[in-house]
Amino acid sequence: MATSTVDTEGPSYPGEVSEGHGVIGARSDWLKPNVTWAIVGAVGGWFFGRYVGDLIAGNWPVSQNTTMNNVSVVFAMSFGVLGWIAGIGALTYPILKMLGREPAPVQPSSSWVRYFRMTEDHKVVGLQYLIGVLVFLFTGGLLAMAIRTELLSPTSHVFGPGTYIAIVSEHGTMMMMMASSAVVGPLGNWLVPLMIGSRRMAFPRIEAFSFWIFMAGYLVIMTALPLGGFPTGWTAYAPLQTQANPGMDAYLVGFAVIGIGMIAAGFNLAATIINYRAPGMTWSRVPIFVWSILATTALLVLATPTLIVAGYLGVLDRTVQTAFYVTEHGGSSFLWENLFWFFGHPEVYIMALPGFGIVMEMMPVFTRKPLFAYRVAAAGMIGVALLSFFVWQHHLFQSGINPDMRPLFMLTTELISIPTGFLFLVTLGTLWRAKIRFEVPMLFCLGMLFNFLIGGITGVFLSDVPVDVTVHGSFFVMAHFHYTIMGGLIFALFGGLYYWLPKMTGKVLNQRLAKIHFWTFFVFFNCTFFPLFLVGLLGMPRRVFEYAHNLQTLNDISSVSAFLLGASFLIFIFNFVWSVYIDPVKAPDNPWDSRGLEWQTATPVPWFDFERIPVVLSDPYRYSEPGAPPVADPGAPSLGSVGAMSYGNAVGPRDVESLPDRPGDLDPRPPIL
């Protein structure tokens, strides 16, 4: 392991009253907090929690004659998470702060170990999130394969009803947990500082913590399976939730844990975007992807606390026997429904908005035209975020809510389709008289638009109450949200990965395999989910294992396509592993010829992102505009030159076409060692 005597000139933590720091000690990396200690902490915490829970609640009447009382289970999970967080070292700084001490600055590292530790480098966090998100996606995907296997036949069953319900619930919950951080995690963390011209995030430790607690959430929701799963689906309606077996606690605690991670990530990203923009980056020059992340953070920070409180009330119901969700004791099953969906609807926009951001960010690069109606796009995303708080009762149209509410929520839901439609205004306008290069990211953009159109239009159908009476709770709803989330967000995510992975990993992905992946993904996705619209219209409810015989053909088409869809993901995994690890080819600095600020760095991006904080001169979409200034001035030529930071005093603009791939080649500044 290379020890280095590197010294960062200037404090790595602004404002730190820095003493000198010398050689890193030779203490082994294994003893420092890392994922092995996190696992040890988690296991230790689990057993400690069981013990404490049994102490407290062992002789409560409600615990008699049960194998595992709920208090024990909840404590076990909570202490397990706490142990995980302590093991990874996330508690070091909070505890040191209480003693008034600052921790030693984290030295940059190039060893692979940094991916298994808390890190202050947002790029490392982004790649950690990428693996985490893919782990969630593939686990949930395997569960989906199991569901489609069961649904091959209406009468002959592969799983028992309890197992099937547990699989369905686990699949849905895992996917929702994954999707809420699918873009914000990997791409948001990796890209946002680079896109706004910042060297760092506002709160790097909180950012790293958000990833590790995301993984803690994965472990908690996976413990549901050995605990018998939970029978409520991801919507966890009470009082079935109150009645359920201990696996239900895994859902409640797991979602709360994921929620904490979501709040942390949103908190950090919002503070960064608002405060850390480079000089010259006014709001009208902010990349549209950053706008989408900003709109998403508003929802992450404000809607998720409701989920945590709703889950907390559910845990109270199950442990200390409160009656929040039990109608017969003064509570109300509607309370859970309202609290959950007040979070649940902004949650789906947390998923959708970053997908919009990715597509709108990539399209100008592959059409060589500026983004059409940029301000409308940004305003639209803010509008969607704002309106998303006012539509939640459309999930409750037939639930027995006050009937006066229904036209109101039908109106707000219909209205939210207007700013959602701006995505199409902007992307179609960008396509007008363009010069379209059909690289893989562009294919995913176009595929996303195709899928999201279907998903969005069927959403308008669902918002119409009379039609909703027929299709609510059926496979029509299922197909709608798979088209919007999988067809929209996941397509956008993969497009974004193919686009940015050359910069993130420094390696080129095989383009032929990527195109095969796209086409198999697109074709099989549509073959899997389009028949489900028909199946739902024809009367099949969600989450059932028995259905009418005449629906078997459609279900079988869907199931077979689903297996092929699952297999198509293997193409991506193979491509990724082969191109990054087995036979890597170094990527050029700017393979797509993009004007984005994140592409004006070298590949691989140095640990400090920018040698000089750039002065931003224009937005990144000024394609096909002769005489357009470069997106940013990369920095003054000499060390410490006064006035390098002030706008208007920058070195003269250089035509972006003539910038070499490695900006350092012609740069008179001292070379980077």
Partner 1 sequence: MPSESTGQSEPSSGGTSPSVSGPERTTDGQVDDTHHWWRIIGFWVVMSAIADPLFYYLAGPHIPPGTMSNVAQGAQFDFNILIVAALPVMLAVWIYMGYAIVNWRASRNGPEPIGGPRARSNIPIQTTWIVFTTALVLFLFGFGTYELVQPGGAGGGQGPSPIWTPASHDVLPIQVIGQQWKWTYRYPTFGGFETTQLVVPDHTAIAFHVTSLDVVHDFWVYQLGVKADANPGQDDVAFATPQQLGTFVVRCDELCGLWHGAMYNYGSVLRSAKFESWAEATEKRLAENTKFLPAFAWTYTPDANGADGGYYPDNVDPYSTVETYGATQPGEPLPSTKTTKN
Partner 2 sequence: MVDKLVPAESFPILRETPEEIAYELRAHEGALWSGSRMLMGIWAFAFAALGFAYFYLRSANNADLWRPARITAPTGVGAAVFAFSLAAAILAAYGLWRFRLGSSLDWEVAGWTGVLCSLTAVSLQIWQLTDLPFFPGSSGYASCFVGWAGMNIVLLLCGAYWLETLLARHLRLRRAVADDGGLARSTLPAVRLFRVNLEGCTYFWAFIAFVAFFFWMLFYLV
Beta strand ranges found along 481-533 (DSSP E) = none
Among 222, 386, 465, 523, binds partner 1 (CB under 8 A): 465
Min separation Cβ 200 and partner 1, Å: 31
Among 96, 457, 577, 585, binds partner 1 (CB under 8 A): 457
Min separation Cβ 155 and partner 1, Å: 11
Q: Provide the token pair at 271.
A: 């503070």
Whose tokens are 């995907």? That residue is 141
The item of partner 2, partner 1, none sharing an interface with residue 30, based on CB under 5 to 8 Å by kind, is: none
Whose tokens are 């980077």? That residue is 672
Min separation Cβ 150 and partner 1, Å: 10
Q: Is 32 in the site for partner 1 (CB under 8 A)?
A: no
Q: Which is nearer to partner 2, 297 or 458 (CB)?
A: 297
Q: Which is nearer to partner 2, 25 or 643 (CB)?
A: 643
Q: Which is nearer to partner 2, 178 or 262 (CB)?
A: 262
Q: Is 63 in the site for partner 1 (CB under 8 A)?
A: no
3-state class (DSSP) for residue 232? coil
Among 11, 58, 94, 541, binds partner 1 (CB under 8 A): 541
Rounded to whole angstroms, the Cα distance separating 392 from 310 reads: 15
Given a contact cutoff of 8 angstroms between Cβ atoms, the answer to whether 119 and 88 are in contact is no
Provide φ and ψ at 553, rounded to 5°. Answer: -60, -50
Q: Which is nearer to partner 2, 84 or 324 (CB)?
A: 324
Piece of 17-25, 261-269, 623-631, 665-673 that binds partner 1 (CB under 8 A): 623-631
3-state class (DSSP) for residue 389? helix
Piece of 205-213, 304-312, 490-498, 540-548 that binds partner 1 (CB under 8 A): 540-548
Query: SS3 letters for 411-427?
Result: HHHHHHHHHHHHHHHHH
Q: Which is nearer to partner 2, 274 or 548 (CB)?
A: 274
Q: Provide the token pair at 370.
A: 């500026």
Rounded to whole angstroms, the Cα distance separating 532 from 547 reads: 13
The item of partner 2, partner 1, none sharing an interface with residue 171, based on CB under 5 to 8 Å by kind, is: none
Min separation Cβ 72 and partner 1, Å: 17
Q: Calculate ∠ Cα 129-131-132, nearest 5°.
A: 60
Q: Provide the token pair at 621.
A: 């979409």
Provide φ and ψ at 353, rounded to 5°. Answer: -60, -45
Given a contact cutoff of 8 angstroms between Cβ atoms, the answer to whether 231 and 212 are in contact is no
Nearest to 485 by CA among 516, 517, 458, 515: 458
Q: Is 625 in the site for partner 1 (CB under 8 A)?
A: yes
**Orientation angle between helical segments 122-150 and 204-222, nearest 10 degrees:** 20
Min separation Cβ 308 and partner 2, Å: 7
3-state class (DSSP) for residue 453? helix
Q: Provide the token pair at 406.
A: 């229904």
Min separation Cβ 310 and partner 2, Å: 7
Min separation Cβ 467 and partner 1, Å: 5
Which residues within the stretch 359-378 sit at the binding site for partner 1 (CB under 8 A)? 367-376
Rounded to whole angstroms, the Cα distance separating 603 from 594 reads: 14
Q: Is 4 in the site for partner 1 (CB under 8 A)?
A: no
Strand partners, 630: none
Given a contact cutoff of 8 angstroms between Cβ atoms, the answer to whether 151 and 555 are in contact is yes
Alpha helices in 99-160 (DSSP H): 122-150
Q: Which is nearer to partner 2, 573 or 672 (CB)?
A: 672
Q: Is 569 in the site for partner 1 (CB under 8 A)?
A: no
Site string for partner 1, 324-363 (x = CB under 8 A): --xxxxx-xxx-----------------------------
The item of partner 2, partner 1, none sharing an interface with residue 537, based on CB under 5 to 8 Å by kind, is: partner 1
Among 221, 492, 514, 628, binds partner 1 (CB under 8 A): 628
Instruction: Calculate the alpha carbon distances from 220 to 139, 145, 170, 179 in Å.
Output: 14, 22, 11, 17
Min separation Cβ 389 and partner 1, Å: 19
Piece of 71-79, 484-492, 535-543, 647-655 that binds partner 1 (CB under 8 A): 535-543
Q: How many residues bind partner 1 (CB under 8 A)?
A: 98
Q: Which is nearer to partner 1, 320 or 418 (CB)?
A: 418
Min separation Cβ 640 and partner 2, Å: 5
Rounded to whole angstroms, the Cα distance separating 141 from 412 reads: 33
The item of partner 2, partner 1, none sharing an interface with residue 541, based on CB under 5 to 8 Å by kind, is: partner 1
Whose tokens are 């959950």? That residue is 340
Among 222, 386, 538, 659, binds partner 1 (CB under 8 A): 538
Which residues within the stretch 285-314 sit at the binding site for partner 1 (CB under 8 A)? none
User: Does residue 670 have a cis bond before it (omega within 30 degrees)?
Assistant: no
Among 80, 140, 217, 231, binds partner 1 (CB under 8 A): 231
3-state class (DSSP) for residue 507? strand
Nearest to 85 by CA among 32, 28, 37, 29: 37
Q: Is 227 in the site for partner 1 (CB under 8 A)?
A: no
Min separation Cβ 232 and partner 1, Å: 6
Which residues within the stretch 378-417 sit at the binding site for partner 1 (CB under 8 A)? 397-404, 406-407, 410-411, 414-415, 417
The item of partner 1, partner 2, none sharing an interface with residue 4, based on CB under 5 to 8 Å by kind, is: partner 2
Rounded to whole angstroms, the Cα distance separating 298 from 384 reads: 11
HSE, side-chain direction, 13 A CA sphere, residue 611: 19
Q: Which is nearer to partner 1, 262 or 326 (CB)?
A: 326
Contacts of 543 (CB under 8 A, 6+ apart): 165, 168, 233
Q: Which is nearer to partner 1, 39 or 401 (CB)?
A: 401
Q: Which is nearer to partner 1, 466 or 668 (CB)?
A: 466
Min separation Cβ 73 and partner 2, Å: 18
- Please report, as a single letter, which amino acid is at residue 471: V
Contacts of 586 (CB under 8 A, 6+ apart): 506, 507, 508, 603
Q: Which is nearer to partner 2, 436 or 602 (CB)?
A: 602
Rounded to whole angstroms, the Cα distance separating 187 from 151 reads: 35
Min separation Cβ 409 and partner 1, Å: 11
